[in-house]
Chains A and B, each alone.
Chain A
Amino acid sequence: MTVDTAAQLLKATVDELSRRAPAVIAAAADQLRGIILGLHFGDGSRSELRADHSRLVVTGPNGETPHVEVYFDDRAMNLLFDLERKPVDQVWSQSLDVRGDRQQVLAVWRTFQVLSQRGSGLRAVQSLWRGYRDRNPQRWGQPAELPVDTRSRNPQHASNTGWHALDYLDHRYAQDIAKASSTVGGAVYTDARSLWDGYESKPWWQFADVVDTDLMETMQACKDRVSREFQRIVPDREPKAELYDLMREYPAREGKGLRPTLTIATCCALGGRDEDAVRAAAAVELFHNGFLVHDDIADESTHRRNEPTLHEAHGIGLAVNTGDAMNLLAVDAVLSNLPTLGLARTLGLIHEIMHMCRETVEGQAIELGWIRHLTVPKTDQDYFDMSTKKTGWYTCISPCRLGAICAGETDPGKLDLFTEAFRLIGIAFQIQDDVLNLLGDEVLYGKEPLGDLLEGKRTVMMIHLFREIAPKRRPRLLDIIRLSRTEKRFADAEEILAAMHEVGSIEYAVKVADRLAHEGVRRFEEDLAFVPENEAKALLRQIANYVTTRPL
């Protein structure tokens, strides 16, 4: 998207933050709530900003009367965001006009405080704004004068560095040294800080809190790191075509990289090293892919991640064998931690992996039982329990617990603190996935449209449908879901979808997911308060909030 106007810049910023730092958007939306904000920029462009649940929506003027209107002149753009100066240094008289109810104006002010103060540290956002400023210097006010530094400076050094060590770092290495190539970390700018200025000492080990980071960039880095480990683990020997190539190819398909990110980020948040968590993360990925291969056979799925499922492409026999091999190799990956993490942590990992696998197969059994016995569960709680077992443990809960163990945290009490927050987030995530399967784009979602309905998957929408639909229509719907996958026609799936729309099942599921996600975020902040506020925890926070701001 071209960013030529201030309105476009605002939209691009909100879009970037939605993808990279959902926690910032969720916090800003929480301040804005029901207020419609009209923005009139100095370049003549206009836009409206409103909150939709935990999302921020930027549109052009659409005829509604905004509750609060803000008129900027060019100079006031510095107020919103500046690369070098605090907003308070940028206030110019008569550069900003705000109209509206006082309480609502204050809410708008808080919204922009959240956006600018929490979002401005991200390299991607800085890059966006720097680009706009460089392309449109005439629309950017001159910075306000800073107080003159009266400290004496060495005449031979003053010209290029300033005198004090802090000035030196700030001037010679303006806007940070190059981004570190670490997996987690380096996605936000960090200011230089003084340890000793001749009068006051600040311990070298006391770092400033980092609350937000770049989810997209770090997730990709984690995914790449684990992919490399994955390729290293899979043996380079025969039989390639029938086994090892399939093992390499299948996980390389496009995925989000959520599990590796959770494992590595939790390890780093608790003081561990990226390197310590990589093998455990690769093991979870191997288990996950092994389960998917078998799951696709059980569900008779035809597509996975935009490509034919393994059994469709290579036959059921090879697919089953490849899934088995992935599970075996995953055990090997866990054991390979022995030389680096030691016996105690490796045993902790094995224990955790065993628990994860048991939960997963139990969840799978519950769901397959519903399908085999042609029943639809009565309550949402039945679905929550099944979903937690089938996907929650290996998607969210266990990756975090494994990461904590890699960092040396084996206290069951501490490990359990990760469970509830990520259980709720995991269920919300799964419900959203189910909704996306009904409404989402196939390319984005990666599975065939209405695949869940064709498979007869018992989702929250399905449960709600059978609970709410008129009794006289229930037998017809039951007849459809009792058909096997091969007997079911696309029109049958569309008929169920129409019924879901009719009784509001999808809206209901979105609300349930939203409620669970918010509860999960709340538990995250409360239960995990013991984890230091570092960049890795900031990443976990973004993942927790990703569920609340995910576009549906």
Chain B
Amino acid sequence: MPANLRPRSASCTEQPVIALGPEGPFPRVRLRRVLERRWLHYAFLSRDHALGMVANVAWLGPGLEAGDAAPRCTAILLVHKRGEGWCASQFNTITSTPLWSAFQQPHAPRMPGPLTLTSTSASPAVDLQLARSSRPCTSQCAWFAPDQHLRWQSETGVIARGRWTFQDQIFDNVEAIGYHERVRGYWGWPELGGWVFGFANDPGGARDQAPPAAFVFTLIQPRGPGDTAAGSVMVWRNGRLRRHFPRRCVTFAVRGQLQRDKVQQVPALSKLFGVPPMEPIPQQLMISARMGDDWVTYDYHCDAAARVVIPSETSLRSFSVHEVIGPVHVEGCISGEHFAFDTYGIVEFAGGADDG
């Protein structure tokens, strides 16, 4: 049975205990409150950068109604083909069970496991064999509002091989490299504010090995005071996390606006509702990080974007995650080793649910 059609479990009467996260162990503890969330996130780019995909499987805590104790699962899949735009499912993508995740089913590096995501209309779809090549970062936590938080853990350098379906085109044996993340937290979209997140993998090196360098960043911008933002930049070298730059050591800047014609709104059903106008997406994103003698810069140009409209449970305005694909130049020096690479990366600009 697909993961998002899991039968409801018995109702839960225990009082939630939520401070800076659920009681451990992290992946298995049950969702107890309405706004408690759990995600598994996947993002891949083919090695020739012609295809890209983003998928998110999300579980939301049980509803308030009596008997509504089971979490609700939604899954969306977006596939991008350069020059042709995005193809997206609704929030009812059919997923394989169990969902591939090194966090939930630990396994050895380079041992492939399946991940199948299929739109109910059969397109888009991906049927992949995923293999880890790198180690995940330690779990990170952003706190905002009195009792809300978001915890996430990233694993980069995930190698993917398999079949991609974009509209009526099928691409077999596509080699891709990407990113996997798990998220756990308790938040409402207006309080969360927004975030800027992204990654880039060095396309060099052997195809079944970890990328020589990988870059992951996060900037969470809650509604609260400006200094409550949480941000970090992480750099992997050959599969190992070599440097974690904390928020005081990183800077983010943007310039220009992406042409609106390059932004596609998904899922298709969102066009039927009164979705507010989209925010302009920056044209260029620059990140710099420095700690001691180590430094890294990330120079990203937005090329095409999909606006994923997500209904907000606690505000009238929907929350939008803009998945952006574009070329990037990453350069840095870690422990005296200089590295630089040019590739394509995926960035998320998310926000927009705040009424206020």
Contacts and interface: CB of A to CB of B under 8 A. Distances in A.
12 contacts: A165-B251, A165-B287, A165-B297, A168-B299, A180-B283, A192-B253, A192-B286, A198-B247, A198-B251, A201-B221, A274-B260, A342-B271
When A and B form their complex, which 8 residue pairs have the shortest distance between CB atoms, in order from nearest?
Answer: A271-B277, A201-B229, A165-B253, A205-B279, A195-B252, A182-B259, A192-B255, A273-B260
B256 A177 contact: yes
B280 interface: yes
Contact of A168 (B272, B288, B352): B288
B290 interface: yes
A271 B250 contact: no
Contacts of A534: 280
A268 to B, nearest CB: 6
Chain A CB count within 10 A is highest, among B219, B221, B255, B279, for: B255
Contacts of A176: 255-256
Mostly, the A contact residues are: loop
B356 interface: no
A224 to B, nearest CB: 14
Interface in A142-185: 154, 156-157, 161, 163-166, 168-169, 172-173, 176-177, 180-182, 185
A201 B255 contact: no
Nearest to B350: A204
B254 interface: yes
B287 to A, nearest CB: 6
B279 A199 contact: no
Contacts of A273: 260-261, 263
A207 B257 contact: yes
A197 B261 contact: no
Contacts of A168: 253, 286, 288, 297, 299
Interface string A184-220: 0110001111111111111111010000000000000
A461 interface: no
A205 B351 contact: yes
Nearest to B278: A271
A275 B261 contact: yes
Contacts of A274: 259-261
A196 B256 contact: no
B277 A408 contact: yes
Nearest to B282: A204
A344 B50 CA distance: 35
Mostly, the B contact residues are: strand
B248 interface: yes
Contacts of A190: 255-257
A402 interface: no
A228 to B, nearest CB: 13
A204 B251 contact: no
A488 B199 CA distance: 76
B163 to A, nearest CB: 28
B61 interface: no
B259 A203 contact: no
Interface of A: 154, 156-157, 161, 163-166, 168-169, 172-173, 176-177, 180-182, 185-186, 190-205, 207, 268, 270-275, 341-342, 344, 407-408, 534
B221 A195 contact: yes
Nearest to A199: B227
A192 B254 contact: yes
B275 A408 contact: yes
Contacts of B227: 199-201
B257 A177 contact: no
Contacts of B253: 164-166, 168-169, 192-195
Nearest to A407: B277
B252 A185 contact: no
A508 B271 CA distance: 50
A140 B54 CA distance: 53
A203 B194 contact: yes
A200 B271 CA distance: 35
Given A173-B255, A192-B254, A194-B251, 19 more contacts: A157-B295, A157-B297, A164-B253, A164-B288, A176-B255, A176-B256, A177-B301, A185-B259, A185-B260, A186-B256, A198-B248, A198-B250, A200-B226, A203-B193, A272-B260, A274-B261, A275-B261, A342-B272, A344-B272
A194 B196 CA distance: 13
A195 B249 CA distance: 14
B262 to A, nearest CB: 9
B86 interface: no
Nearest to B272: A342
Contact of A166 (B231, B250, B251, B275): B251
Interface string B268-311: 00011011111110111011101000010101010000000000
A169 B252 CA distance: 10
Contacts of B193: 203
A207 B280 CA distance: 8
Contacts of B287: 165
A273 B305 CA distance: 13
Contacts of B228: 201
A272 B229 CA distance: 30
A194 B249 CA distance: 14
Nearest to A168: B286
B316 interface: no
Chain B CB count within 10 A is highest, among A182, A200, A203, A534, for: A203
B349 interface: yes
A534 B279 CA distance: 11
B333 interface: yes
Contacts of B352: 205
A156 B333 contact: yes
B210 to A, nearest CB: 26
Contacts of B295: 154, 156-157
Contacts of B263: 273
B346 to A, nearest CB: 16
Interface in B224-268: 226-229, 231, 247-257, 259-261, 263
A198 B263 CA distance: 30
Chain A CB count within 10 A is highest, among B196, B257, B274, for: B257
B326 to A, nearest CB: 12
A163 B290 contact: yes
B332 to A, nearest CB: 10
